[in-house]
Amino acid sequence: MARTTSRTLRSTRQALQNRLSLLAMENISKRNNASVRRLLEQLSEENLTELAAAARAAQITIECGFLDKVWDDTRVANRIAQLARQGVTVERETVATRFGDAELARERLVLKF
């Protein structure tokens, strides 16, 4: 009886761990998809037209704190390639800021028309 209970507990524990792992992966996937959608919204025709009109410059900078998570996504790569065909250069830039002994880095996109 003790062996059966031990096996059952191990089996139940393993099933729970598998389920938690699956839920964690789904959550990461949802967050990554949301980040990709936010970046694609920032790179949309409407948003870029509005930013370019407001800036009245040949260059726009877009701050993006989650760029490292989505940079390699195919949807982002396709949008950047589409912008390149339209004559817009998109570059990734890291900006470092020092606060005493600590150095913080943030990512941004630089778009050149």
| 44-84 pLDDT tens trace | 999 998 988 888 888 999 988 888 889 999 999 999 999 99
Domain boundaries along the sequence of the chain: 2-112
- E-assigned strand segments in the chain: 59-63, 89-99, 102-112
7, two tokens: 């096996």
| 84-103 pLDDT tens trace | 999 999 999 998 888 888 88
Task: Supply the pLDDT for residue 3.
Answer: 65
Distance between the two ends of the chain, CA-based, in angstroms?
Answer: 74
| 2-54 pLDDT tens trace | 566 888 989 999 998 999 899 888 988 899 999 999 999 999 999 998 988 88
DSSP state of 57: S
Q: Answer positive or negative: Cα dihedral of 70, 54, 46, 58.
A: negative
